[in-house]
Structure 1
Amino acid sequence: MDDRFQQMLAEFRALGGTAENIRLGEGAFGRGIFPVDPAKPVAVAVPENLLMDVSDLRIEGGAFRVAQGSSLGAAERRFVEEYEASFSWGNGRGDIEALFEQAQALPAEIRHQLRVEFRCGEWFAEPDAHTVEERFFSSRSILYGKRNVIMPVVELINHGDAAGYDTSSGVSVRGTFAGEVNVRYSDVDAYGLFLNWGFSHPQRQALSLALSGAVGGKGLHIERDYTSGEAMPTLKRDGDALALNYLMLGHRQYPRLAKGIFYKRMREAGANGIEEAFDTIQHINRMNFLGVMALLEPFEGAMVRGLRRMARHQLEALSFACGVRPV
């Protein structure tokens, strides 16, 4: 595999890619990228000519194909198809299929509760070929400007606490790593990581579930439309109804910030009873993830352990909401 990997990297570089001081290895999340020499910096960069729109991919007879109308050049098209066959879709979709198989091992009524009552995502739906494809490529793509693109080679890097992707020109990850190379996929919470990628990892913040209720006699709708790096939620008004595109409920580094942001937005809208409203939203969220843990008490398995960890990480981040910081 290492010879094939190095040959693929040579072709990647010939098309403008950067791949310095890297090798394939096995880490905490399975296959990943490691430095050849941990004392030297790592650099992996996908140039714009190798970023393919997700809308241009086709699965034909189980094989990855680039659509005829794609903007990729002939050499780039050939590289992407061969890369996907050897290092991504061709031998990597088994990881996604295994997640669905683990979920299907739970009784049908438990899966229904996890998906509908506790909103743990489509991992607990009845899987089909389209669902597997959608989950696989959703977990290996990135928003580049207004395009949702596949990022060959860089997508082999697993999630961790390092810096995020550099998307100023292509998509790149750089740095010095003592062990496995990692990149922060997103600043979203542990729950959001599980929904999209199917794994659990402690995150700095906890965001609210999507909820509808009221605050001070005004309707309040909270969404989960969060973009990494967004400092404040957007407040929209529709008559007496209010809407936030997301709401932070706790932050490990800034525990006084969550209430400060909510109070500011609600005061801007002229809402009353904001202290009780925040506590109620927190309570609903805590009960949701405590409910997940209670539901899973009789069960074991990799998916169950992952769900328990996700719920614990989310509850821990929710607990970091102490005091109020003026915003």
Structure 2
Amino acid sequence: MEINFQNLVEIFVELGGIAENICLRKGELGRGIFPVDTSRRTKIMTPKSLLINLNQVGICHDEIYIKDASQFSAKEKNFLEFNYNHAWSGGGNICSAEFLKYVSTIPESIKSQLLGCGFMDKALLNSCPDENRVLKRFVDERVVSFEGNSVLASIWDLVNHSSFAPPLRITSYGVETPPIEPSSEEILHKYSGKNSPVSMWKKYGFACKCIVAYSIPFSFNIGNQELSISCSGQLGLDPKEKANFSIVGDTLSIKSLPVGCLSNGLPQQNFKSILSSVGLSVDVANRLFPKIREVNIKVRHYLIDSLQEPGFGAKAELYKALMYEIELIENVSNG
């Protein structure tokens, strides 16, 4: 079935979607969405009726299909399956497979470093690039959260990421691109609210400049203080998590700690705020933060040295992500 982007958009609109003033072309980030008329606003809205639950996507003989299509009309089903098979065979499967192949063949010493830093988890590091795992990776790179479910949103998912763009909008009607003023620039949105260069590489397979970098796991004693401080090294908090730190026994346990940022004063001010909330002085924070900063810079340099060279593909993107994180951490002052 041959169909161009404009035909796809026409069917999308016929099925209830909104696709105003958009075209598909290549830009600095590869294939992306651009305005047709630079004097008008653009908008994409994938309606609730066209959202596919993550668990309803299957693959057979290298073709994506919807497992239970009872909620869709025949035309909706055909559109959705064609749309994702087009993305799959158009390079999406190759990108996902190459990422999984790279992480599965990383030397064990580097795997241990990535695991110890909290940059990767065992399940992902040990993933084999078979058809089903490649499909899972392909889908995971494209899902959004809607009414508590992870879903795929057609057409909208062609919009590329920028850490400095507004986030997508979730409404009762569906998933929308953020409202922006008319421009000749590519339409972009922020994929996730608290992304870091390494977390973007882990989730999406590419490196990009971000606003913040998070600390690796650490544990420090506080001299003559009764408390010690530990960090579990999460790459940001899950939206469902309400508390970022707690006292566990004689340890102040922090889940996720910004250690690098475009705002050079924010990480240490955040650290001071956490410590002061449990009665620890600014002096303790000022003494510890430089150590945390130094450990985080060293471990990233060590990983870069272990990679030996930038390489290409997923390895090159990991290399860049680590460099971006070092830049963010070095931007932060100690005092």
SS in 2 for 1:82: helix
Alignment: residue pair count = 320
C-alpha distance after superposition, 1:207-261 (max 9, x if no partner): 122445555533523341635899x962223332333231111221x32121111
- For residues 77 and 201 of structure 2, the distance between their equivalents in structure 1, rounded to whole angstroms, comes to 31
**Matched residue, 2:236:** 226
SS in 2 for 1:78: helix
Residue number among 201, 205, 215 corresponding to 2:208 in the alignment: 201
CA contact (8 A) 2:57 2:64 kept: yes
- TM-score, structure 1 length as denominator? 0.84
**Matched residue, 1:154:** 156
**Matched residue, 2:8:** 8
Alignment of 1:135-284 (within 5 A): 135-160=137-162, 161-169=164-172, 170-173=174-177, 174-175=179-180, 176-186=182-192, 187-215=194-222, 216=225, 217-224=227-234, 226-227=236-237, 234-252=244-262, 254-271=263-280, 273-284=284-295
Change (3 A) 1:214 1:131: farther
CA contact (8 A) 2:98 2:314 kept: no
- For residues 331 and 15 of structure 2, the distance between their equivalents in structure 1, rounded to whole angstroms, comes to 47
Change (3 A) 1:63 1:308: same
CA contact (8 A) 1:151 1:171 kept: yes
Consecutive unaligned residues of structure 1, counting only runs of 5 or more, are: none
* Superposed structure 1 runs of 4+ greater than 6 Å apart: none
- TM-score, structure 2 length as denominator? 0.82
CA contact (8 A) 1:44 1:172 kept: yes
CA contact (8 A) 2:272 2:285 kept: yes
**Matched residue, 2:80:** 80
- For residues 245 and 143 of structure 1, the distance between their equivalents in structure 2, rounded to whole angstroms, comes to 22
**Matched residue, 1:89:** 88
CA contact (8 A) 1:188 1:228 kept: no
SS in 2 for 1:136: helix
- For residues 301 and 97 of structure 2, the distance between their equivalents in structure 1, rounded to whole angstroms, comes to 27
**Matched residue, 1:127:** 128
Change (3 A) 1:100 1:111: farther
Letter in 1 for 2:285: I
CA contact (8 A) 1:96 1:135 kept: yes
SS in 2 for 1:34: strand
CA contact (8 A) 2:228 2:251 kept: yes
**Matched residue, 1:98:** 98
Letter in 2 for 1:168: T
- For residues 301 and 247 of structure 2, the distance between their equivalents in structure 1, rounded to whole angstroms, comes to 32
CA contact (8 A) 2:46 2:155 kept: yes
CA contact (8 A) 1:102 1:301 kept: no
- For residues 42 and 84 of structure 1, the distance between their equivalents in structure 2, rounded to whole angstroms, comes to 23
Consecutive unaligned residues of structure 2, counting only runs of 5 or more, are: none
C-alpha distance after superposition, 1:18-49 (max 9, x if no partner): 11121221223322222223332211111122
